[in-house]
Chain A
């Protein structure tokens, strides 16, 4: 079956530090890959996505590249801000028909000034 594995948190960084949150997946075929973010007190928001191998998703300074050979979709940002503190979820979705999202456990990011 499908599964997503994320690095354990919390990840604690100082402002302007470089961020990497690792995500690897197991899936049949070639799914679409997503990063969702949940800010404190808010719902899940789509941060970025990639629908095929070698695609790079990007938004708000965050990037992730769909790596088929390593089945990975690591999230990166060159310089984090305090406002980036949130829980980040990696997810996949099969590219056919009605398909549901399979999530990782989430990684909490805490950025201090």
Chain B
């Protein structure tokens, strides 16, 4: 089975520009998560989708970040306008919706390394 796929793997943009990150979860996984690691710090939770609905978006840093998951398949995370502090690695993960799923870890993608200059 294909894993979680993220595009692009790297992105370098100027401050003030817009960037859109994409995540394709494992087919059939209802849960999709976005996490971010700023250099040298913890990997922090951003957002959780269950199918197309936002289950928890308490980790979104501000309104410059917009996540969507139309149709409950792939998801996009748009940063507009990007600021220097948005630089980091953005990870996407997915998991199945089943009883006891909270006992397991997720399947993560390789991440998108975003650099804002």
Interface of A toward B, CB cutoff 8 Å: 4, 32, 34, 36, 41-46, 49, 51, 89, 91, 93-106
**Interface membership of B42, Cβ < 8 A:** yes
Are A101 and B103 also in contact (CB < 8 A) when A42-B110, A43-B111 are?
no
Q: A44-B108, A91-B43 are in contact. List 19 more A-B contacts (CB 8 A).
A: A36-B108, A41-B110, A42-B110, A43-B109, A44-B43, A44-B111, A46-B107, A91-B105, A95-B102, A96-B102, A98-B31, A99-B102, A100-B56, A100-B59, A101-B35, A103-B35, A103-B43, A104-B42, A105-B40
Q: Across the interface, which residues of A come within 8 angstroms of B74, CB to CB?
A: none
- 9 nearest A-B pairs in the assembled complex, by CB-CB distance: A43-B110, A44-B108, A103-B43, A46-B105, A100-B45, A43-B108, A103-B42, A105-B42, A34-B105
**Interface membership of B98, Cβ < 8 A:** no
Q: Are A51 and B33 in contact (CB under 8 A)?
A: no
Interface of B toward A, CB cutoff 8 Å: 3-4, 6, 31, 33, 35, 37, 40-45, 48, 50, 55-56, 59, 91, 93, 102-111
How near does chain B come to A29, taking the closest CB pair, in angstroms?
12
Q: Can you list 18 contacts pairing A with B, beta carbon distance less than 8 Å? A: A4-B42, A32-B103, A41-B110, A42-B110, A43-B111, A44-B43, A44-B108, A45-B108, A89-B43, A93-B105, A95-B102, A98-B31, A98-B48, A98-B56, A101-B43, A101-B45, A103-B42, A106-B43
